[in-house]
Chain A
């Protein structure tokens, strides 16, 4: 099952339109676009380099789980449920790690894209899960911690339930788009 052309070219035009309008708008507003770009690019590079330890930490267990056959075994164990829905077992580690760490889940995503292919069914699902939600635990503990709020009330429950919804909704939307 691979993606057809239809959603592909639309989003490519959206991205291109966004890119060009940023340049044009920047010039129109007399922003120093060249210096802005360089400044942002510097941040981007620093960020990517800061990801290295997180990648190194998460790639080890993930590669080990995959190559030792543990993920395959998990897939066979859950086969009745997974086959019924057509859900790929490769994506399960990403679903576990996603609410905990953005760097680690990006590492898992890169691993899935590399092994299953970016345009495959697990590749799409993993991409949507990475892009469609944020690092729930981190966001809540950082923001509440910054003002010293101890009782988080129902915030964590809301965030985690929303993550589960994202997993279900991503499944539905990706299967719709891959059938187009």
Chain B
């Protein structure tokens, strides 16, 4: 984290131009706000994970240990002893730094690779590591291209649904419920319309169509927010609905199942919908519970 901030500096003023794009996860603007410009890969989603959840830099434990070691000059340590001690403390600092730096996804990815590598070496087949690396990259491309075939079809269908106004029809059904969930938002406020469209689109499985509505809903909710730095109650409820998104047609999962040769790819639908429903209801209940009166 500290290292990255330093490396951002050559771009000028702490990331106003360019740096935000270079270090998507960690770049902060001068005023401390997260740089939230949509990145080129905004359909897929690791980019923002780091922005909000990075930790302050970890001070290498080695530096502190070294200093205290220098002060204890009474015992004349041998050269090798000092070197060994230094290597030990430095490596301790390195390990601490490795676990302390980076965004959440960096740390989890690194952790998974580390465990896998160590396990492969310990269990006696280190050749597995390189072998897996090459094979998995190949199967990543195969999977994605196979998925492409089915996703072209599903997103084509969903685009017809979107353009012929099925989202708007669903919105009419959702309106009374939304009035109940968002008592702070006036019924005819633009925020309400955008939120209804967002929820309707994501219920129909159109994640792509839902995001722009969601962003404009947040913008309108911010206008109603008395404290711009702090999330309003309505925003938190809207987030609860979005993080536990209920989807009636989980098109991607169905496609993935049919690719893997399922006898009945759609069979999962009732279980998935009921699970999503349970999750959404719980999220809304938790939201009500956490909100201070």
Contact = CB atoms under 8 A, between A and B. Distances in A.
Interface in B250-274: 250, 252-254, 256-257, 259-272, 274
A120 B269 CA distance: 15
B284 to A, nearest CB: 9
Contact of A22 (B145, B166, B214, B243): B166
Interface in B122-142: 123, 125, 128-129, 132-133, 135-137, 139-141
A155 B268 contact: no
Contact of A56 (B43, B137, B253, B256): B137
A137 interface: yes
Interface stretch (B2-10, B62-70, B154-162, B176-184): B154-162
Contacts of B43: 46-47, 50
A40 to B, nearest CB: 3
Contact of B120 (A68, A96, A130, A169): A68
A4 to B, nearest CB: 9
Interface of A is mostly: helix
Interface in A83-137: 93, 96-97, 100-104, 106-107, 109-110, 113-114, 117-119, 123-124, 127-137
Contacts of A135: 45, 243
A57 interface: yes
A62 interface: yes
Contacts of B34: 141, 145, 148, 150
A147 B191 CA distance: 13
Interface size class of B (residues with CB under 8 A): 35 or more
Contacts of A152: 52, 231, 239
B158 A40 contact: yes
A71 to B, nearest CB: 9
Interface in B2-58: 32-36, 41, 43-46, 48-49, 51-53
A140 B239 contact: yes
Nearest to B222: A147
B132 A128 contact: no
Given A56-B141, A97-B108, A152-B231, 12 more contacts: A36-B162, A40-B157, A50-B43, A61-B109, A63-B135, A67-B120, A68-B123, A110-B143, A135-B45, A138-B48, A158-B236, A161-B286
Interface of A: 3, 5, 7-12, 14-15, 18-19, 22-23, 25-26, 29, 31-33, 36-52, 54-65, 67-70, 73, 93, 96-97, 100-104, 106-107, 109-110, 113-114, 117-119, 123-124, 127-155, 157-159, 161-163, 165-166, 169-170, 173-174, 176-177
Interface of B: 32-36, 41, 43-46, 48-49, 51-53, 104-105, 108-109, 112-113, 115-117, 119-120, 123, 125, 128-129, 132-133, 135-137, 139-141, 143-145, 147-148, 151-166, 208, 214-215, 218-219, 221-222, 225, 228-231, 235-236, 238-240, 242-245, 247, 249-250, 252-254, 256-257, 259-272, 274-276, 278-280, 282-283, 286-287, 290-291
In the A-B complex, the 7 residue pairs with the closest CB atoms: A40-B159, A44-B155, A64-B116, A131-B250, A48-B148, A145-B36, A159-B243
